[in-house]
Chain A
Amino acid sequence: MSFPLYYFLFPIALFALVYVIFILMDVYHLISFAEVHFMSFFMTFIFLAGVIYISFWAWTLVQPIDWNEPITFFQSISFTPKPESF
């Protein structure tokens, strides 16, 4: 059984979607339920800069990878006796 490497990107896309929802919820809470404050602005800025940095770092590293390379889980089992056993 084999499948291409890019199949691993599907759960990552799902993770990214959930991640963005969480960020939006956090920012929404800060905007709606807190006063405009340097600390909240600063922390949000640092957080978003960190997210961009980590994403860029990961993107740079995965660029040269061949995502079409197949991953084989189970090799086919052959019951044909080896020629040297005769």
Chain B
Amino acid sequence: MQYGNIIKQKQYEKIIYLLRRDTVTFVSRIFLLVVLAGVGYGLYFLLKLLFPALFINNISFAILILLGSVYALSIWLFFYTAFVNYFLDIWIVTNDRIIDIRQQGLFARTVAELDLFRVQDVTSECHGLFATIFDFGNVYIQTAGEKERFTFFNVPEPHKIREAIIQLADEDRKFHGSQPT
């Protein structure tokens, strides 16, 4: 793994969960790509049907080809960038802390972390038909820190993760409680 660039893993630290949004949530992006490609094809057939002269004339044909290729390349890049954003939004749960790494567009990135012993309350929710069927949802982590709430968005098996975080937080509190001050 190449997370050493982002998190400085402590010697005793173990990665328990490495979470991303559920794969099902990415399907909506694929659907959007198909719709946008369909719009392009639909427009092509409509123009061919209503204005066939556009495809015979040298100038209009050249302009149409250029516009068509720009459109196709743009939606393809949009899809790939959506994948990169999906792939780089990561939540890492270790036996010591939780790290929230978010890719916000192409040029913005935020990394936040909290110690497990600061966790006060963990809530999980599955909201909606697809979320219930495919078992994905949000996990909200309430802390005593400055950032009041950490949220894992659309992660798989949110209830199981909530239970695991509560257990890990208890263990970490015991560990920090047993540490000499």
Contact = CB atoms under 8 A, between A and B. Distances in A.
Interface in B2-43: 2-3, 5-6
A35 to B, nearest CB: 4
A45 to B, nearest CB: 11
B25 to A, nearest CB: 14
B103 A69 contact: no
Given A25-B106, A29-B103, A58-B65, A51 B73 contact: yes
B181 interface: no
A8 B62 CA distance: 9
B58 A58 contact: no
Interface string B106-144: 110100000000000000000000000000000000000
Interface in A49-85: 50-51, 54-55, 57-58, 61-62, 65-67, 69, 71
Interface string A27-52: 00110111111011001100100110
Residues of A contacting B: mostly:
helix
Nearest to A66: B58
Nearest to A59: B69
B171 to A, nearest CB: 26
B56 interface: no
B45 interface: no
Interface string B53-74: 0000011011101101110110
A69 B87 CA distance: 47
A8 B63 CA distance: 8
Contacts of A40: 87
Given A54-B72, A69-B59, A30 B84 contact: yes
A61 B87 CA distance: 35
B76 interface: yes
A62 B66 contact: yes
Given A23-B80, A29-B88, A34-B90, 5 more contacts: A33-B101, A39-B87, A43-B83, A61-B65, A69-B58
8 A-B pairs closest in CB distance: A58-B69, A47-B80, A35-B1, A65-B62, A26-B84, A54-B72, A61-B65, A43-B83
